[in-house]
Amino acid sequence: MNTINELLSALSGIATSPSLLLIILGGVVLGTVAGLLPGIGPSTAIALLLPVAITVPAEVSLPLMVSLYLGAEYGGRISAILLNIPGDPGAIMTTLDGHPMALKGKAATALSISALASFVGSVLAFFGLAFIAGPMSELGLAFGPGAYFAVVVMALVLSATLVGSAPMLGLTAVAIGVAVSTVGIELQSGLPRFTFGSFTLLEGIDPIVAIIGVFGVGEILASTAMSKDFQTVSKLSGRFLPTGLELRQGTLPSLRGSIIGFIAGVLPGAGTTIAAFFSYGLEKRLAPESAGMGKGAVRGLVAPESANNAAVSGSMVPLLTLGIPGSGTTAVLLAYLMMYGLNPGPGFFDANPELAWTIIGALLVSAILGVVINIGASPLLAKILAIPMPFMAPVILILALISCYSIHNSATDVYIALAFGVLGYVMRLVGMSPALLVIGLVLGEMLERNLQQALGLTGGNFWAVISDSLALVFIVIAVLALVSVLPWRRLFGKKATEAKADVTK
């Protein structure tokens, strides 16, 4: 009952605040545009909002960011359907049936039916988040530093093994992130580490600078390989409103996709891509041959779309209740929360009830605004796709410069972002996910701090830390996840890539 009251209070607070509604609307529009443009995902767009975040309070900027995140999941499907290029990684599976529908002259139908599926996924997952977050946050209060250390280890291992083509490279990306988090003054001893005499590095590397580098600058460097004649936008043909038959065909897959998406979102690191991947795989197994999966089937379009939107709310569960990011984008959100001095995790709902429920409420409002904008403004959004990357890229780089520069009014942060951009480019060459580096970076400090506290409590006995019953459960899960990917063919990524190829067949 308390949850319902808190939720209704937050929703009425948003509904009666025109400025907050306007901010959420702005977030959804920005997110949709960021999502539909290949190369600018929600992580990049949220990272580039840094100057805004510095200026306004968390009560304003966080609803803006979560609405942007959900808007990006709506927007990603537009380029997937019209261009055959996923606007964001979560929309990869949408290309498989969405673009064939567009080629059949049903682009408008594909856009509207996928927007409805995204809406279903967003709303169902919103209820999942609203009713799970509170109890899970209470549960998290039982975690001591040892259990927390184990949770972070589990989150890092699960992230590394679920994302990307090769688990070893996933672990490498996570380890790089953790390594970067050790730069700066070590809080217990006060000694500088890896600063090489630089005063700027004494404070450590700001996670937002690294995020802007690997996502924003890195993606632009990777896009230099794109041909300038690459984009061929399909015509917005066909009827906007789906037929009754199409709606019936999409109902069950959409519900299944929502559930899978929410669960995948809750898993640390899995995020929208894995959600869409699993839901499409399930529909492919369930669909009869006559369904024409991969040739423009409605179920093949709606299932991943419901899933990737549901994963947004799902990924908020571990972020708000445990302080563990459920996706790359929530890792960026975690960095912002830490920047504001807020500590998401156990006790977050008790310490900041209004903010926590406003974030959750903003997701529902964003879902409603998202479906209205994405169906109503489809022709306009499709036109944005015609802007070629050669003219878009400099603007993104300028925004990256402003965002980094705004932190300390110093060029040093910009050069650090550039270095991370080069790293992000190299990582993309071998299919390493930059999101994993970010997850390692934002969790690295938490990992070391909890380990130090746990060792302090146990008199420096590491075995006592991990033999605590709760910690042991998480460590066992982490070890099982590692063991499941280490042997033998999967050690070097072959099975992962084969599995991927199998689903996309």
Rounded to a whole number of angstroms, the minimum distance from the CB of residue 342 to other proteins is 21
Select the residue interacting with other proteins from 12, 188, 243, 467 (CB under 8 A).
Answer: 188
Cβ 413 vs Cβ 404: under 8 Å:
yes
**Binding characters for other proteins, 120-159, by CB under 8 A (x = yes):** ----------------------------------------
Cβ 161 vs Cβ 482: under 8 Å:
yes
Cβ 279 vs Cβ 230: under 8 Å:
no
Element (H, E) at 73: helix 58-82
Q: Which is nearer to other proteins, 195 or 251 (CB)?
A: 195
Secondary structure (H, E, C), 274-319: HHHHHHHHHHHHHCCHHHCCCCCCHHHHHHHHHHHHHHHHHHHHHH
Footprint of other proteins on 449-468 (CB under 8 A): 451-453, 455-456, 459-460
Region of 64-72, 181-189, 258-266, 379-387 interacting with other proteins (CB under 8 A): 181-189
Select the residue interacting with other proteins from 288, 429, 463, 487 (CB under 8 A).
Answer: 429
User: Applying CB under 8 A, does 233 fall inside the site for other proteins?
Assistant: no
How many Å apart are CA 348 and CA 323, to the nearest integer? 9
User: Applying CB under 8 A, does 277 fall inside the site for other proteins?
Assistant: no
Footprint of other proteins on 370-399 (CB under 8 A): 389-391, 393-395, 397-399
User: Applying CB under 8 A, does 295 fall inside the site for other proteins?
Assistant: yes
Region of 146-154, 169-177, 331-339, 469-477 interacting with other proteins (CB under 8 A): 169-177
User: Applying CB under 8 A, does 171 fall inside the site for other proteins?
Assistant: yes
CA distances to 282, 503, 505 from 498, rounded to whole Å, are: 17, 9, 11
Rounded to a whole number of angstroms, the minimum distance from the CB of residue 483 to other proteins is 15
How would you class 4 by CB atoms within 10 Å of its CB: exposed for 0-12, middle for 13-18, buried for 19 or more? exposed
Q: Which is nearer to other proteins, 234 or 249 (CB)?
A: 234
Footprint of other proteins on 3-62 (CB under 8 A): 51-52, 54-55
User: Applying CB under 8 A, does 182 fall inside the site for other proteins?
Assistant: yes
Select the residue interacting with other proteins from 9, 26, 200, 428 (CB under 8 A).
Answer: 428
User: What is the DSSP secondary-structure string of 165-199?
Assistant: S-HHHHHHHHHHHHHHHT-EE-TTT--EES-TT-S
Residue 497 has a CB neighbour count (10 Å cut-off) of: 15
Beta strand pairing status for 184-185 and 192-193? antiparallel
Chain mean position to CA 231:
25
Amino acid (1-letter code) at residue 438: V
Q: Which is nearer to other proteins, 103 or 252 (CB)?
A: 103
Q: Which is nearer to other proteins, 72 or 365 (CB)?
A: 72
Task: Record the tokens describing residue 366, joined without a space.
Answer: 């964003």
Select the residue interacting with other proteins from 6, 206, 283, 448 (CB under 8 A).
Answer: 448
Q: Which is nearer to other proteins, 200 or 406 (CB)?
A: 406
Select the residue interacting with other proteins from 402, 464, 472, 473 (CB under 8 A).
Answer: 402
Select the residue interacting with other proteins from 8, 241, 411, 480 (CB under 8 A).
Answer: 411
CA angle 200, 206, 209 (to 5 degrees): 105
User: Applying CB under 8 A, does 504 fall inside the site for other proteins?
Assistant: yes
Q: Which is nearer to other proteins, 252 or 422 (CB)?
A: 422
Select the residue interacting with other proteins from 15, 203, 230, 248 (CB under 8 A).
Answer: 230
Cβ 206 vs Cβ 434: under 8 Å:
no
Q: Which is nearer to other proteins, 240 or 415 (CB)?
A: 415
Nearest by Cα to 310 from 122, 449, 83, 486: 122
User: Applying CB under 8 A, does 339 fall inside the site for other proteins?
Assistant: no
Select the residue interacting with other proteins from 60, 175, 339, 472 (CB under 8 A).
Answer: 175
Q: Which is nearer to other proteins, 376 or 456 (CB)?
A: 456
User: Which residue reads 């550039």 in tokens?
Assistant: 418
Task: Record the tokens describing residue 458, joined without a space.
Answer: 């146990």
Task: Record the tokens describing residue 27, joined without a space.
Answer: 């977030």
**Binding characters for other proteins, 299-338, by CB under 8 A (x = yes):** ----------------------------------------
Task: Record the tokens describing residue 49, joined without a space.
Answer: 């909002």
Footprint of other proteins on 104-123 (CB under 8 A): 104
Region of 125-133, 262-270, 355-363, 445-453 interacting with other proteins (CB under 8 A): 445-453
Size of the site for other proteins (CB under 8 A): 91
User: Helix, strand or coil for residue 240?
Assistant: coil
If you ran DSSP here, which 8-state letter would residue 37 be given? S
Footprint of other proteins on 83-102 (CB under 8 A): 84-86, 92, 95-96, 99-100
Q: Which is nearer to other proteins, 479 or 491 (CB)?
A: 491
Residue 17 has a CB neighbour count (10 Å cut-off) of: 14
Amino acid (1-letter code) at residue 324: I
Footprint of other proteins on 200-219 (CB under 8 A): 217
How many angstroms separate the first and last alpha carbons of the chain? 47
How big is the chain by its Cα radius of gyration, in Å?
22
